[in-house]
Amino acid sequence: MEWLTRQLELLAEQGLKRERRALSPLADGWVEWQGRRYRNFASNDYLNLASHPRVLAATNEPLKSTVGSRASALVSGRTIWHEQLEETIATFEGSEAALLFPTGYAANVGTIAALVDSNDVVFCDRWNHASLIDGCRLSGAKLRVYRHDDLDGLQRELCKCSTSSRKWIITDSVFSMDGDIAPLAKLCDLAAEFEADLIVDEAHGTGVFGATGRGVAELTGTEHRIAVRIGTLSKSLGTLGGFVAGSRSLIDWLWNRARSQVFSTALPPAICAAASAAIEILQAEPERCRYLLELCDFFRSELQSHGVQPMLGSIGPIVPIVIGDSIATLTIAQHIEGSGYLVGAIRPPTVPNGTSRLRISVTSAFNPADLSNLAVTIADAISSSNNNASS
């Protein structure tokens, strides 16, 4: 396997090799690394619930008896904590039922592969999350990828498709690397026109968008028109696990057929208790979402006032700033790190060649003054990188 060494060297030369580091997580959005504290702006804990005292305390009771769930949900791993969490999710989402998966990734792969079969046709936005694409591949269905947000292109593909095959439109609600949202109402219209069903992944939507934090579907008033809504507990809800919300028959089918759920150990009970607590906090304090979005708007305006343009179309907590070159992106991210802020440096193959970017995730752990300082730091880091490039 000597080719591995050569390939890794090649990645390093292109600024594409990912290094691993181990952070010590602290409360309220902070992390420590090699003796220094950083504000973490590369985290998905948008509502700062991962270290909320009530979420932490919820783990006490289940941890008295076990850490692991000891089996897959189907065999004996589904505990009272799982049942309570599924009921909490169904109530929160306003759906008949909900089903847990080990992760959001597993929810996407397992759900798509269980519903879609090889005679079906699947229409996917080009920037859909890898787990949606992997689920489509696993299903064996014919995959039609349309250009990002290109509804005309999607419509043309739908027209070409035989009326006899079952059709699915699958999309992220918030695109994780561009931070923009899918046109769900128009996708619902197309789905209705062509008798397709819609599967929507709200991984970055839940806890952020909509009056009560149910995501972009709530924001756009399309919840009842979406056949399958998938979410994760690992982002704004600060814990772990994927879920599907939908009709009782959908959930019964997935319980019987979704392999990533059937053949994997159930979530630890303490995680379920923590996730229930996180959802209860969100239900009691939906204004957390509005406050988060206000912070995001404020941060964008601070960036712009310092001459930095966040990616057009991005709204909400994911703030991408396209740099282009991978090595420059890394250098700028390191410069920002030097001032005590962790930000993402996203490079190919996660994003297309030539579109390497900083990716800042705004969380409500930090206040407007932190965001102002970060905006200045980013502007300085970018201009000193430009100066170095031109000198």
Ligand X SMILES: *Cc1c(COP(=O)(O)O)cnc(C)c1O
Which residues form the interface with ligand X (CB under 6 A)? 103-105, 108, 129, 131, 172, 176, 201, 203-204, 232, 234, 242
> Shortest distance, CB of residue 133 to ligand X, whole angstroms?
10
Nearest distance, CB of residue 368 and ligand X, angstroms: 26
Residue 117 and residue 167: Cα distance in Å, rounded?
A: 10
Nearer to ligand X, 40 or 108 (CB): 108
Considering the complex, what minimum distance in angstroms separates the CB of residue 374 from ligand X? 22
Minimum Å gap between C-beta 235 and ligand X is 6
Smaller CB distance to ligand X: residue 201 or 337? 201
In the bound state with ligand X, the residue whose beta carbon lies nearer, of 100 and 374, is 100
Torsion angle, alpha carbons of 131, 135, 137, 140, to 10: 180
H or E segment and range at residue 191: helix 184-193
| Residues 321, 360 contacting (CB under 8 angstroms) | yes
Residue closest to ligand X (Cβ): 104
Our CB check for ligand X shows the closer of 203 and 332 to be: 203
Per-residue b/e over 34-61, b at no fewer than 16 CB within 10 Å? eeeebbbbbbbbbbbbbbbeebeebbee
Taking the C-alpha atoms of residue 236 and residue 52, their distance in angstroms, rounded to an integer, is 12
Angle at 23 between CA 17 and CA 28, to 5 degrees: 125
Query: Which residue's entry shows tokens 């699958």?
Result: 170
Q: Of 189, 280, 184, 185, which Cα lies nearest the Cα of 238?
A: 280
Among residues 205 and 381, whose Cβ is nearest to ligand X? 205
Report the SS3 class of residue 324: strand
Provide the minimum distance between the beta carbon of 143 and ligand X in the complex, in angstroms, as a whole number: 17
Q: What is the dihedral of CA 208, 211, 214, 215, to 10 degrees?
A: -50
105 versus 209: smaller Cβ distance to ligand X: 105
339: which residues sit within 8 A by CB, 6+ positions away? 377
Cα angle: 46, vertex 126, 44; to 5 degrees: 10
Smallest distance, Å, CB 353 to ligand X?
Answer: 21
In angstroms, give the least distance from the CB of 213 to ligand X.
Answer: 16
- Please identify, using beta-carbon distances, which residue of 243 and 375 lies nearer to ligand X: 243
At 132, which helix (H) or strand (E)?
helix 130-139
CB nearer ligand X, residue 48 or residue 232: 232
In the complex, least distance from residue 180 CB atom to ligand X, rounded to whole angstroms: 12
